[in-house]
A and B are shown apart, each in its own frame.
Chain A
Amino acid sequence: MINCKEAVARLWAYLDRHLERVQERELEEHLGLCRHCCGELEFARQIRERLKGSGAADPVPDEARARFDTLLGGLEKAR
């Protein structure tokens, strides 16, 4: 069975579904017996959720939007 170090190294790839089937089975076998690595897995999920959540609505500030509008309008005219 894989050890904790190897298991932890695979967690994000596991969540990304990047592992080979064999690697995945080895990890799941380890997780079934190791509370510590289950905690690591949950923490990895939480970090990913935090990153994903940071990508929510990101309005362009008015000043920047005006700058881009001017640019796009200028490009249209320059064609």
Chain B
Amino acid sequence: MRVEESDGRSSGGPGSDREMSAGPSLHIQSGGGEAPHGRGEQAATGPGFEQVVRPHLEFLYGLAMRLCGNRTAAEDLMQDALLRAFRAFPALRNRERPRLWLTRVLTSAFHDRLRRPDVETVALEEDLEFDLFDRITEEDPFPYSDRVHLDFLDLFDDARLLEVLQGLHPNLRAALILAYVYGFTAREIGEIMGRPLGTILAWLHRARKSLERELWEYAMSRRLLTSQAEAGV
């Protein structure tokens, strides 16, 4: 899918270095002079903006929640993304796969709002050394269980998992969520995040290792495991 100047990358964020702490208030005309003609006009042969966007609102909101970790930031991100999408819509030629386009717009808005530099493409050795499977085996936090690894994962309901994901660098978090929560291919994620396939594959690898570490550290810091496991830290 080709996206024509449609991800709003240059429109900038709220001017804050804080992670998703505040967003713009509701101003319909906040485009600030971008694309002054034909905003949101319905293409002669296609559906209008609202028709295109509305079926994907729940998906976009879920993605925003996972990226941001809380409702306020997710709603602000959604608003930002919807405004960007509206401004970019007239230039969008291929409207057959709107979910990919909207995902790109929202992910781009997320990236701009964070203003964080990209994570290093090459994973750090310490990231790669940690192995959650082995750590659980060694610490044996559920000594009477014959499914100790599953027991560990069972500690994480959706709310806890959402918190854990916030510990990942935003690039890694976005790539991981897009791939394993929503099932986008690495190639699609490259298109969404505007990075080469090799970079995405490297990020995914590092994201998985970061997730393993974050799961373990979350469990330890929240004392979710037995004291036997804690003694092994």
A47 touches B78 (CB 8 A): no
Q: Which of B12-20, B99-107, B108-116, B128-136 participates in binding chain A?
A: B128-136
Q: How many residues of A contact B (CB 8 A)?
A: 35
A46 touches B149 (CB 8 A): yes
A55-B181 contact given A64-B71, A67-B75, A74-B28, CB 8 Å threshold: yes
B149 touches A43 (CB 8 A): yes
Q: How far is B186's CA from A59's CA once the two chains are assembled, in angstroms?
A: 27
Which residue numbers of B lie inside 8 Å of A, CB to CB?
A: 26, 28-29, 39-41, 48-50, 53-54, 57-59, 61-62, 65-66, 71, 74-75, 78-79, 82-83, 86, 128, 131-133, 149-150, 153, 156, 158, 161-162, 176-177, 179-183, 186, 201, 204-205, 208, 211-212
B156 touches A50 (CB 8 A): yes
Q: How far is B65's CA from A74's CA once the two chains are assembled, in angstroms?
A: 24
Q: Is chain A's interface secondary structure helix, strand, loop, or mixed overall?
A: helix
A78 touches B39 (CB 8 A): yes
Contacts of A40 in B (CB 8 A): 131, 133
Contacts of B26 in A (CB 8 A): 67, 70-71, 74
Contacts of B61 in A (CB 8 A): 58, 60, 64
B58 touches A60 (CB 8 A): yes
A58 touches B62 (CB 8 A): yes
Which residue numbers of A lie inside 8 Å of B, CB to CB?
A: 8-9, 12-13, 16, 18, 39-40, 42-43, 46-48, 50-52, 54-55, 58-61, 64-65, 67-68, 70-72, 74-79
A54 touches B86 (CB 8 A): no
Contacts of A70 in B (CB 8 A): 26
A48 touches B180 (CB 8 A): yes
Q: How far is B65's CA from A30's CA once the two chains are assembled, in angstroms?
A: 40
| Interchain nearest-CB distance for A49 vs B (Å) | 9
